[in-house]
């Protein structure tokens, strides 16, 4: 941001951007007016396990289900990224299957990704990776960083972020920390909203709703 001439700015993150935005806030808090996250990465608080809300219980169940049934891609890309990388760089069918499976699993689509994203939109995304040959290299950050980042939402949260934060929780996202869990890590939450539609790729699935969420938060801190 120094190279672009910005001394103070806001940051927004979803997916890996959530981790990057959080690290920006941890590294240079004095430069950030605020951060907007979908979702905030914060571990469940064991002290609340005796009086969990229904939403917190479902969040924990979904997190365990994701670990048991949906984490194979992350383990592969964290430990042996180049093995799958050859297939992703060699075959458009392999690349399509690898990406569309996540659209099916992580969007709010009732099992059919075209309920959330048009076929053209999905093909545009896949084509971007194919034409640039980045199916493997784009995922190398798993090998570099996933062990640390996954601990932020599955183990104890050891660091705190004091930069003003806005949090948008989409119902088909995993993880989905409750506000009281998130407040253990993000100590100045100015905006919190739990949406009724949308999943992991919120900006892609629900661009209008997502844009209004970001605007609603930054109106409070600009």
pLDDT digit string, tens, across residues 57-75: 999 999 999 989 999 999 9
Q: Binning pLDDT at 50, 70 and 90, where does residue 146 land?
A: confident
Dist CA 98 CA 211 (whole Å): 28
Whether residue 205 lies inside any domain: the answer is no
* Six-digit token string for 11: 């940051």
Give bridge partners of residue 189 from the DSSP assignment: 165
What pLDDT shows up at residue 128? 98
What is the percent of the chain with per-residue pLDDT over 70, rounded to a whole number?
A: 97
- Rounded to an integer, what distance in angstroms lies between the CA atom of residue 13 and that of residue 25? 11
* CA–CA distance, 7 with 9 (Å, rounded to integer): 7
212 pLDDT higher than 70:
yes
The set of residues, in sequence order, having a beta carbon less than 8 Å from that of 216 and lying 6+ positions away, is 166, 191, 193
Q: What is the per-residue pLDDT for 156?
A: 65
Residue 128 within any structural domain of the chain: yes
74-117: pLDDT as tens digits: 999 999 999 999 999 999 999 999 999 999 999 999 999 999 99
Q: Is 166 helix (H, G, I), strand (E, B) or coil?
A: strand
Gap between the Cα atoms of 127 and 96, Å rounded:
9
Report the candidate in 30, 37, 31, 29 with the shortest Cα–Cα distance to residue 12: 37
Residue 172 is assigned to a structural domain of this protein: yes
| CA gap 60, 56 in Å, rounded | 6
Q: Is residue 4 part of a domain?
A: no
Q: Where are the alpha helices (DSSP H) in 28-118?
A: 54-69, 72-79, 81-90, 92-106
Is 18 part of a structural domain of the chain?
A: yes
CATH number of the structural domain spanning residue 23: 3.40.50.1820
pTM exceeds 0.85 for this model: yes
In sequence order, the β-bridge partners of residue 37 are: 13, 167
Given a cut of 80, whether residue 151 has pLDDT beyond it is no
Indicate whether 3 belongs to any domain. Answer: no
Total structural domains within the chain: 1
74 within some domain = yes
**208 assigned to some structural domain:** no
State the burial class of residue 165 (Cβ atoms within 10 Å of its Cβ: 0-12, 13-18, 19+).
buried
Q: Is-contact 135 164, C-beta < 8 A?
A: no
pLDDT digit string, tens, across residues 174-202: 999 999 999 999 999 999 999 999 999 99
Active-site amino acid positions? 15, 142, 200
Instruction: Give the pLDDT mean for 19-45.
Output: 96
More confident residue, 210 or 154: 210
**Domain extent at residue 110:** 9-32+40-184
What average pLDDT does this structure show over 16-22?
95
pLDDT score of 159: 86
Assign 165 a pLDDT band (cuts: 50, 70, 90).
very high
- Average pLDDT of every residue of the chain: 94
């Amino acid at each position: 941001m120094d190279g672009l001439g910005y001394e103070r700015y806001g940051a927004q993150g979803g997916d890996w951007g959530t981790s990057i935005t959080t690290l920006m806030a941890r590294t240079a808090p004095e430069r950030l007016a605020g951060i907007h996250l979908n979702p905030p990465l914060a571990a469940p608080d064991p002290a609340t396990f005796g009086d969990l809300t229904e939403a917190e219980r479902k969040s924990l169940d979904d997190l365990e289900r994701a670990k048991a049934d949906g984490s194979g891609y992350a383990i592969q890309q964290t430990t042996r990224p180049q093995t799958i990388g050859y297939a992703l760089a060699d075959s458009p069918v392999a690349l399509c299957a690898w990406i569309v499976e996540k659209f099916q699993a992580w969007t709010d689509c009732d099992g059919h990704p075209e309920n959330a994203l048009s076929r053209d939109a999905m093909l545009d995304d896949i084509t971007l990776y194919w034409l640039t040959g980045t199916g493997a290299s784009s995922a190398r950050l798993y090998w570099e960083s996933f062990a640390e980042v996954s601990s932020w939402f599955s183990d104890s949260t050891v660091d705190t972020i004091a930069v003003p934060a806005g949090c948008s929780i989409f119902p088909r996202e995993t993880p989905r920390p409750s506000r009281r869990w998130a407040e253990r890590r993000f100590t100045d939450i100015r905006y919190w909203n739990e949406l009724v539609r949308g999943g992991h790729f919120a900006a892609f699935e629900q661009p209008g709703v997502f844009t209004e969420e970001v605007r609603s938060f930054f109106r409070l801190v600009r």
